[in-house]
């Protein structure tokens, strides 16, 4: 998987800055359509929005800190799906992760899973802020709760974004049973290819045009 079309097919073209306007959201949807990416990811307050046929609409839940209660996250996810979201990217409760409360982490994810049946659920674990043991525990909790993907990062945490090491560990933990989404800091074609080589099956990218322009057709 090295061509422009192949990488485009696994990109979530993303605009999650809090100051994003309706016009900017419309622009990235149009750009996503031109680039042939998999999905566009926008803030939940911007839903509903129209997207071209074949382009998935993703949004976030419990973003960016994951510190909402499970009930609030579930309500947010249900509302997003009701307003047209095809995919939900939720943030785990990092405090519970750090406390080693695997059951609590799983329950938090499961609450969202139940609220968005029929939608694709990606679980953001904020891997740069976690130890390897915590990454593995988060991946196992996400799988047990019925998630479809585990995802490295929000892109907003000061610890950083996706790394090849984290992606590889996540893929080793979930095998082929779940998808792995790398996000945060993917700005070049080389970044994207490195993440795919490590095991990523989806990429969260805001600089999609720059990434794709660096790849052969």
Instruction: Report pLDDT for 6.
Output: 97
The closest of 133, 138, 157 to 93, measured between CA atoms, is: 138
151 is catalytic: yes
Instruction: Report pLDDT for 91.
Output: 98
Task: State the 10-residue block means of pLDDT for the chain, 217 residues long.
Answer: 94 97 98 98 98 98 97 98 98 98 98 97 98 98 98 97 98 98 98 98 98 96
Catalytic-role residue among 73, 122, 148, 151:
151
181 is catalytic: yes
Catalytic-role residue among 12, 73, 148, 181:
181
Catalytic-role residue among 89, 108, 148, 191:
89
Q: Is residue 214 exposed (0-12), middle (13-18) or buried (19+ Cβ within 10 Å)?
A: middle
- How far apart, in whole angstroms, are the C-alpha atoms of residue 10 and residue 204? 9
The closest of 67, 71, 130, 120 to 98, measured between CA atoms, is: 130
- How far apart, in whole angstroms, are the C-alpha atoms of residue 80 and residue 73? 10
Backbone angles phi and psi of 185, in degrees to 5: 90, 10
**Homologous superfamily in CATH for domain 4-213:** Aldolase class I (3.20.20.70)
- Domains of the chain by residue range: 4-213
């Amino acid at each position: 998987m090295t061509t422009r079309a192949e990488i485009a097919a696994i990109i979530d073209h993303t605009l999650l800055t809090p100051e994003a306007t309706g016009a900017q959201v419309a622009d990235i949807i149009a750009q996503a359509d031109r680039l042939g990416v998999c999905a566009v990811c926008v803030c939940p307050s911007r839903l509903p929005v129209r997207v071209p046929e074949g382009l998935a609409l993703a949004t976030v839940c419990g973003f960016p800190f994951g510190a909402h209660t499970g009930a609030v996250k579930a309500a947010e996810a249900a509302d997003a799906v009701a307003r047209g979201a095809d995919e939900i990217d939720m943030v785990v409760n990092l405090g519970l992760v750090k406390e080693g409360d695997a059951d609590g982490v799983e329950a938090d994810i499961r609450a969202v899973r139940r609220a968005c049946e029929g939608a694709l659920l990606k679980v953001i674990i904020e891997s740069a802020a976690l130890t390897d043991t915590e990454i593995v525990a988060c991946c196992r909790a996400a799988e047990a709760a019925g998630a479809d993907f585990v995802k490295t990062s929000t892109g907003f945490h000061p610890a950083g974004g996706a790394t090849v090491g984290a992606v590889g560990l996540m893929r080793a933990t979930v095998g082929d049973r779940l998808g792995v989404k790398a996000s945060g800091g993917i700005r070049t074609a080389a970044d994207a290819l490195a993440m795919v080589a490590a095991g990523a099956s989806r990429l969260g990218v805001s600089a999609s045009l720059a990434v794709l322009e660096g790849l052969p057709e």
